[in-house]
């Protein structure tokens, strides 16, 4: 499809390819279209589906998954995968919640701690994949069990109730600015910053280069350590989590920690996921 | 289980690497949340959720694979002429 300028005079084969590549490029838009159709169908049987309060509820819950998905997408674009995200989320969620419950740190510090833990866990994944050259699917399957095990080990059967956390921490789940929930705003910010980095920086282009063709990327001189450092950086991503029902989400990726909000001890449910 | 990976794949990020956007991944998450919420409101059992997620993922991956193959074939054909 990139050769469309070179092969100017071709027939049906190319138009079909072109059409398909347009569809592929509009992948995101087709998702939105499907959502609209689905929304219409569902609202026939359940009119409350398309109410503002319900939709914002959906958006808040989805935004927590979305932050983690952004991190995961970075990893997957480099032709790797991180299976351990959800265990990571559970572990981070519990650590943050327990620290807050014991008033060891205030809310911003606890959120920073969560992002820090997420970074360290991600770097462990990254190190195993890049330094030891273990395929990421195997490595993160291992760390999935490890993180989950550590979570169980620390938490036991203990849960942190949402009510026990300081309001500075739990309020952002309910608050909104200009009618847009804070969670959604934070997620948008993460997506925008991440997209700009991926599209316009050398690092971002290298992430795509490594993912499309690792051998070519190596020949082009993208250092293999970096070629892995997308993985290792990207793997540092993740943790995010559920809104109301609670818990905590945290940051990710290349050193710019992302976001945070969290509530209570979702860890249990999250580790159970 | 693995709803995050599911969101990413549904959002159009290729499991083979090199293809996809972050906005797509976020939209994928929204899409799955949308489905989950719709299922509850329509009154379907939660147990269906996992199965339906599975179907959505399969459809998304298959669609991507088919489109990618067609594009490659079309590119090869147009180069051959």
Nearest to A69 among B4, B75, B78 (CB): B4
- Window 16-75 of B: residues touching A by CB (8 A cutoff) are 16-35, 37-38, 41-43, 64, 67-68, 70-71, 73-75
Q: Is the pLDDT of residue B2 over 80?
A: no
Domain that holds residue B52: 3-80
The ipTM assigned to this model is 0.83
When pLDDT is cut at 50, 70 and 90, the band that residue A273 belongs to is very low
Q: State whether B23 and A83 contact (CB < 8 Å).
A: no
Do A175 and A198 sit in the same domain of this protein? yes
Q: pLDDT digits over A99-157, tens only?
A: 877 877 777 777 777 777 877 887 788 778 777 878 888 888 898 899 888 888 887 77
Structure tokens at A108: 């911003």
Q: pLDDT digits over A194-205, tens only?
A: 888 888 887 778
What is the pLDDT, as a whole number, of residue A146? 92
Domain that holds residue A198: 52-272
Nearest to B78 among A14, A46, A198 (CB): A14
CA A226, CA A224: separation in Å to the nearest integer? Answer: 5
Do A195 and A109 sit in the same domain of this protein? yes
CA B50, CA A43: separation in Å to the nearest integer? Answer: 22
Number of domains present in the structure of chain A? 2
Kindly write down the DSSP assignment for every residue of A19-54, as one continuous string.
HHHHHHHTHHHHHHHHHHHHHHHHHHH-GGGGSHHH
**Using a CB-CB distance cutoff of 8 angstroms, which residues of chain A are in contact with residue B7?**
65-66, 69, 72
Q: State whether A23 and B2 contact (CB < 8 Å).
A: no
Do A60 and A176 sit in the same domain of this protein? yes
What is the pLDDT, as a whole number, of residue A11? 47
Do A24 and A62 sit in the same domain of this protein? no
Do A60 and A24 sit in the same domain of this protein? no
Q: Which residues in A27-54 are b (16+ Cβ under 10 Å) and which e?
A: bbeebeeebeeeeeebeeebeebeeeee
Of A227, A235, A272, the residue nearest A254 (C-alpha): A235
Of B43, B54, B58, B63, the residue nearest B3 (C-alpha): B54
Report which DSSP code applies to A174.
T
Do A95 and A157 sit in the same domain of this protein? yes
Q: pLDDT digits over A223-237, tens only?
A: 655 444 444 344 444
Q: What are the strands, taking DSSP E only, across chain A?
A: 176-177, 180-181
Nearest to A212 among B18, B24, B31 (CB): B18
Number of domains present in the structure of chain B? 1
Q: From the CA of B28, how many Å to the nearest CA of chain A?
A: 8
Q: State whether B41 and A49 contact (CB < 8 Å).
A: yes
């Amino acid at each position: 499809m990139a050769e469309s300028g070179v092969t100017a005079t071709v027939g049906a084969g190319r138009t079909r390819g072109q059409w398909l590549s347009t569809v592929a490029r509009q992948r995101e838009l087709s998702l939105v279209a499907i959502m609209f159709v689905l929304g219409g169908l569902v609202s026939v049987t359940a009119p409350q589906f398309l109410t503002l309060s319900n939709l914002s509820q959906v958006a808040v819950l989805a935004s927590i998954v979305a932050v983690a998905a952004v991190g995961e997408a970075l990893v997957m674009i480099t032709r790797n995968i991180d299976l351990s995200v959800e265990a990571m989320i559970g572990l981070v969620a519990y650590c943050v919640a327990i620290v807050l419950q014991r008033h060891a740190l205030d809310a911003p510090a606890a959120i920073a701690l969560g992002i820090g833990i997420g970074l360290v866990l991600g770097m462990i994944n990254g190190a195993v994949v890049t330094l030891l050259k273990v395929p990421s699917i195997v490595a993160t399957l291992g760390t999935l069990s490890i993180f989950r095990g550590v979570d169980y080990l620390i938490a036991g059967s203990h849960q942190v109730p949402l009510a026990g956390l300081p309001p500075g921490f739990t309020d952002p789940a309910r608050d909104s600015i200009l009618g847009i929930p804070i969670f959604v705003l934070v997620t948008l910010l993460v997506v925008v910053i991440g997209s700009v980095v991926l599209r316009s920086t050398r690092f971002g282009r290298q992430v795509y280069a490594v993912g499309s063709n690792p051998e070519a990327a190596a020949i082009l001189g993208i250092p293999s350590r970096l070629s892995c450092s997308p993985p290792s950086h990207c793997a540092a991503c993740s943790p995010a989590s559920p809104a109301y029902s609670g818990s905590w989400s945290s940051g990710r990726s290349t050193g710019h920690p992302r976001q945070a909000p969290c509530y209570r001890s979702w860890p249990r449910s999250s580790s159970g996921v | 289980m693995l709803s995050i990976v599911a969101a990413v794949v549904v959002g159009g990020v290729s499991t083979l690497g090199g293809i996809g956007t972050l906005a797509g991944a976020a939209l994928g998450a929204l899409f799955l949340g949308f489905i989950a919420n719709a299922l509850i409101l329509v009154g379907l059992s939660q147990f269906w959720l996992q199965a339906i997620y599975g179907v959505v993922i399969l459809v998304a991956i298959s669609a991507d694979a088919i489109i990618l193959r067609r594009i490659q074939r079309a590119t090869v054909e147009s180069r051959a002429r």
